[in-house]
Structure 1
């Protein structure tokens, strides 16, 4: 049978989602925990691989197994064998046509920026920080150029292995709550470092170093060297994965909100 799972994790202590030799990964921890519950080797496939230090409130995975367990058993047994930074939220049986990655129609991320003079002691691994004042209205004005289908070569990592740089951003918003800025974005899929590179460009606009129209210029140049700084990983959260309605899988998890 094929089982889908929802997972949340604090990525600060991991080298990323993907299993790696001699490095701690979320995937390896999840597979080890589920394998103990199933009493057989389990391999999981995720909706979106997150980088080192990136968090998730709504990662979706699937795995195949011949072990008959209730949903409650998968969740309780899995969590009993997981480190404190990782938790299974739910499981449900799905048909063999479901794939956590390829069945997904959209993914959404939230990027959190603490914008004040002093860095946070409590959230140092969970928000980006910039002491320079930023104007969220300027950032939103620049962000509107990213909506729609575009070649996002200027916003992809040099090492990105995606076959095509074309992606469709369905919506993007930048809002402030006290000292915190929230960048929310949904797209059909994302390139490696795409959200963090977008955040870096918009932060420069917010600080007044560039005009909002610069975002359009960076996009049109299709050249990563024109895209500015890659924002830090700690402020990034995978918060939603959208599937066709027939799978009965919710679209999003808890949004990190600090102010």
Structure 2
């Protein structure tokens, strides 16, 4: 049987696995589902059509599944889906989706949201993503697996961030970021590759050497960006980095790609 503190308020027919723990003064709406091993600490509020995956922990004063912060939302039963083994710390927030954005906000498995971080409506967050304190996503943002979002960074609505990126603290991201990139600055610009993260994910020295060559060709080579991208396409069969970057760019050409500041290239 679920362990529910007597001061908590759980509206029927909320779906609770048998081993769920719900702390003091927590509030759960009727359309909330908590899977096996979920633990809610004190003063957590979960509303809307929200599902929280197995073994996820939610810490005090987090608010999940609230109505999206969108002037177009008219009370439709949209959803928030949070994966397994996540850690959502104090004052973390995430909204449900909107009908116009597909209706679902998704947070993957093994995600850590530190204090004050926010996931806006209709966002898609991959697996293993880390939000440092007060990192925030506007609506309709997508973030790839194993990306790190530094403290107090802010990501503009509709922006795409590729897998295994490093977004530095206090950075504003308003352009799409290729996979494995390192972004820095108030108006965020590329400052090289997330070499530390790439090494942790198993990239060898030869892999890193090839990735640096692709990065130089794409952002510092001759010709227009499309011409340089065509050159990188020829490397797809030889470089996993080139394949990931080309696939990311081709997936959506509507928004601009984040570039390095003029003349900047970093060797890690």
TM-score by length of 1: 0.23
Q: Pick the structure with greater CA Rg.
A: 2
Higher relative contact order (CA 8 A, sep 6+): 1
- Judging by fraction of residues, say which structure has more helix: 1
TM-score by length of 2: 0.22
